[in-house]
Structure 1
Amino acid sequence: MITPDLPRSVRLGEELDLPTLTAYLQSHAPEVGAVLDVRQFSGGFSNLTYLLKTADQEYVLRRPPFGANIKGGHDMGREFRVLSLLKGHYDKIPDPVVYCESPDVMGAPFYIMTRVPGIILRPSMAPTLTISPERMRQLSEALVDNLVAIHGLNIETTRLDQLGKPEGYVQRQVEGWSKRYRNAETDKIPGMDRVENWLQDNYPTDQAPAFLHNDYKYDNVLLVPDDATSEPMPVIKGVLDWEMATVGDPLMDLGATLAYWSEAGDSPAYKNFNLTWLPGNLTRQEVVTRYAGQSGRDLSGILFYYVFGLYKNAVIAQQIYARWKQGYSQDARFGHLLPMIIELATKATGTIESGDI
C-alpha cells in the first residue's frame, strides 16, 4: 500500500511563529483564513516545507533552512516568481498565494502556495514498495516525457526568459558550483578536484536555450493514486521545488536528472537518491534514448552533463554537511553526508574514465 506524503510534527528548532504568521496573513492574504494547525514535511535536504491547515483548505509554506546563506539555492522570491510565470502555461503546479520578502515575520523570506495532494515516491519507501515492474516502467517513461514538455515551453511567450541569461550558462554553472564547493569544503577529497578540472577542460557546445527545473526527480513530482491497485498511475499531477529553475542549456537539466538516476548495480549509498534502481525503471541510457527521441535534441555530448550533475550533487551535499558541522542544523541525517560526497566524486571520476553513463 502506498500512502500520500504525510506531514509530521514540526522538528525541534524549526517551529513557526504562528501568531506572527497569522497577523501577516490577515494583512497580506486574508483569503487564506485562520491557520488551525501546522505540520512539517519530512522529506528532502533543502528548503523547509510546512503544511498549513485552515477550516476548508490546505496550504504549503516554504522557507530556507536555518543558517542557510546560499541565495541561489534558497531564493524564495525566485520560486514564487517561477510559479507565477508558469501559471496558465503549465498546469502541473500549485497556485502561488503570497510571498514575504522581509525576514521579520519568519526569520527569513518565505512563500505560501496551495497544496496539491498526491503520491510522492521517496527513496525511503524502497523496502516496502510494491509497485509492479510494468507500472514502474510507465512511471519512469512519464517522468522523462514530462521533462521534455517542460523543456518545450516557449520561454518568450511565457516570459520565462527573464529568469536568466542563456549565453555562457554552462560555464557559469561550472565556475559557480566550483566556488560553492571551495566555500563549503571541510575535508580534502581529491576526486572533487579532478572532476572540477575535467569539467573546465571539456565544455560542450551550448544547446538552444530552454526553461529548466534544475532538480527534477521522482521525489519532486506528485503522482495520481490508483485506488484500485494501490499503485500510482503513470500520470504526473504536480511538479514541486522550483527554486533553482532558470533558462539555459536543457541538457544541464537532463544531466541533473541522470545524476539522481541510480541503477540496480550502483552502490547502496548512491541508491539513496532515488527509486530508479527498482525493477522496471528505465536505465540511464534508456532515459537518454527516450529523451532524444521525444525532444529531437542531439545528446552525443551527454557525458559532460551527467558528470556535472554528479559534481553538483556532491557540492549540494557538502554545503548541507558544512552547515551541520557548524551547528546550524540538528538534523542527524546531515551528519552522515561525507561518505556520500566521496561516493559521488568516485562515481564522477569513474564515469570520466569509462566514458559510460
Structure 2
Amino acid sequence: MSSANEGSTATPMRTGEEVPVDALRAWLSQALPALVPAGSALGVAQFPAGFSNLTYRVSVDDEHGARSYVLRRPPRGVTGGVAHDMAREYGILAALHPLGVPVPRPLVRCDDAAVIGAPFYLMEHVSGTIVRGTLPDEMHADREALPSRLRALSETVVNTMVQLHRVPVADGPLAALGRPDGYVRRQVEGWTKRWHAARTSDVPSLDRLVTWLDANQPSTSDVCLVHNDFKLDNLVLSPDLSQVRAILDWEMATIGDPLMDLGTTLAYWVGPHDNPIFRSLGLGVTAMTGAFSRDDVVQAYAVASKRDVGLVDFYMAFGFFKVAIIAQQIYARYQQGLTADARFASLGAVVEALGEQGARVAAERR
C-alpha cells in the first residue's frame, strides 16, 4: 500500500504525524538555500490517502514566487526495515531519474532523525492526476467514451510495467539493489515471518496460503528491476490519463522476478465480483466497465513482455498474501496506538478478505 503523493489533495497534518515546520525550514535553508532561501515562508500539509510511509506537501513562498515539493518520512513506530529506509528509497530515485524512468527528481535527504523526528527526503512535485476509487469528474462527461478510455488506461498501466522491467540492471547503482538468486524463496519466507510478527488474531486462510506457497514455489522466471508495489494509484497521470508522468513509492523496489511484480499488481487490480471491502483500499476504478480484467492484464503483459506467464496463479496468490500482510502490519500499528488514522480500524476485515481471495486462487488453480 502506498502513500499519497502528487495529484492528491493535501490536508492539515494528522494528530501525531505533524512535521515541525520551523525545524524543517531551518534545515532546508542550509541544505537547499537556492530552493528554500532563509526567511522563506514555509507551509506543510499532509497527503492523507496513503497507508505506509508518510508524505507531505512542502510549500515555499518568497520573492521568487510559490512552489511545492514533496517530503517523505517513515511512519511512527517503525524503526527499521527496507520499506522504511529513506536513504535507500532516495538512492533508487537518484539512480532511475538519469535513465529517463518517470520518477520524481530527488532533491536532498536528511539522515538525522533529530531534525523532524525521523529521517526524510525531499523530491520534486510532479503535477498530474492520481486515480484511486473514482475517476476525475470530467471523465464522466462523455459516458459513451468512458469504456474505451478505461481500456486505454489499462493498457498504459501494463505497458509502463513492461517498460520498467526493461530498465538495465546489470551494472551501475541498481545492480547492488537486490539478490536475484533465490528471490522467490526469500520473498515467501520473509512475508511469512512478517505475518507471524504482525498477527493480532487467527486468519486460517492465510495460514493455509502460507503452506501452499511454500509447497508450490517456482524457480525464478527472469531477473529485472521490480517495483514491488506497482498499482494504479502509484502512477501520476496526465489529465487525460493517457501518459504516466511519474511512478511513485519505491520503498520496496529491488532486483528480482518480474512475475512477482505482476502478481502484486493483480492483487491490487480490483474486479467487479471481488469482495466489496477491497474498494476500501481506494482502488475501484479497475472494476468499471471497459477496464481490463485480471486475465486481460496477464494476457497483455505476456504479449508485451514476451514472457511465459503459465505459472501466474502462484504469483497472484502470493500477491494477495503480500498485500494482506502489508495491511496487517498497518493494522497492528493501529492496534498498538501508533497511529490514530481512523481508516486503519477496518483493516482487520480487509486482511481476512485478502487471505480468502489468495487461498481461493491457490485452491482453484492447483
Deviates more, 1:117-126 or 1:6-15: 117-126
Please tell me whether the aligned partners of residues 7 and 236 of structure 2 are also in contact (alpha carbons under 8 angstroms).
no
Deviates more, 1:27-36 or 1:95-104: 27-36
CA distance in 1, matches of 2:222, 2:350: 33
Residue 175 in 1 paired to residue 185 in 2?
no
Other-structure match for 1:135:
149
Query: How far did residue 311 of structure 1 move?
Result: 0.3
Equivalent-residue separation in structure 2 for 1:157 and 1:280 (angstroms): 40
Structure 1 residue 246 corresponds to structure 2 residue 254: yes
2:5 aligned with 1:5: no
CA deviation after TM superposition for structure 1 residue 32, in Å: 2.3
> How far apart, CA to CA, are the structure 2 residues paired with 1:74 and 1:329?
16
User: Superposition pairs for residues 233-272 of structure 1, below 5 Å?
Assistant: 233-272=241-280
Question: Identity of paired residues, percent?
Answer: 41
Corresponding residue number in structure 2 for 1:46: 52
Partner residue, 2:34: 31
CA contact (8 A) 1:150 1:211 kept: yes
Q: Does 1:114 align with 2:124?
A: yes
C-alpha distance in 2, partners of 1:342/1:316? 12
Which string of whole-angstrom CA distances, capped at 9 and with x for unpartnered residues, describes residues 186-231 of structure 1? Answer: 1011111110011110111212210011111111001101xxxxxx
2:21 is the alignment partner of 1:15:
no
Q: What amino acid is the match of 1:239?
A: I
TM-score (norm 1): 0.93
- Give 1:49-88 correspondences, 5 Å limit: 49-55=55-61, 56-88=66-98
CA distance in 1, matches of 2:17, 2:35: 22
Residue 249 of structure 1: how far off its partner (Å): 0.5
Q: What is the alpha-carbon distance in structure 2 between the residues aligned to residue 290 and residue 205 of structure 1?
A: 22
Aligned equivalent of 1:193: 207
Letter of the 1:29 counterpart: L
TM-score by length of 2: 0.91
Structure 1 letter corresponding to 2:19:
L
Q: Is the 8 A contact 1:35 1:52 kept in 2?
A: no
Q: Which moved more, 1:262-271 or 1:321-330?
A: 262-271
Deviations 1:40-64 (A, max 9, x none): 1111111111001112421000011
Residues 283-302 of structure 1: pairs in structure 2 closer than 5 A:
283-302=293-312
> Counterpart amino acid of 1:39?
A
Q: CA deviation at 1:270?
A: 2.1
Using the alignment, how far apart are the partners of 2:97 and 2:172 within structure 1? 9
Question: Distance between the aligned counterparts of 1:194 and 1:90, measured in 2?
Answer: 42
Q: 1:331 aligns with which of 321, 330, 341?
A: 341
Aligned length in residues: 348
C-alpha contact 2:27 2:115 (8 A) present in aligned 1: yes
Cα distance change of structure 1 residues 233 and 336 upon mapping to structure 2, 3 Å threshold: closer
Conserved? CA contact 1:86–1:158, under 8 Å: no
Q: SS of the counterpart of 1:49?
A: strand
Instruction: Return closer, same or farther for 1:164/1:144 CA change in 2, 3 Å cut-off.
Output: same
SS of corresponding position for 1:32: coil
Change (3 A) 1:27 1:134: same
Q: CA deviation at 1:341?
A: 0.6
Q: Secondary structure of the residue that 1:269 maps to in structure 2?
A: helix
Summarize the alignment of residues 213-224 of structure 1 with structure 2, pairs less than 5 Å apart.
213-224=227-238
After the TM superposition, which segments of 4 or more aligned residues of structure 1 sit over 4 Å from their partners? 124-129
CA distance in 2, matches of 1:331, 1:57: 28
Cα offset, 1:271, TM superposition: 3.1
Which residue in 2 is equivalent to 1:90? Answer: 100
Taking only aligned residues, the RMSD between alpha carbons, in angstroms, comes to 1.8
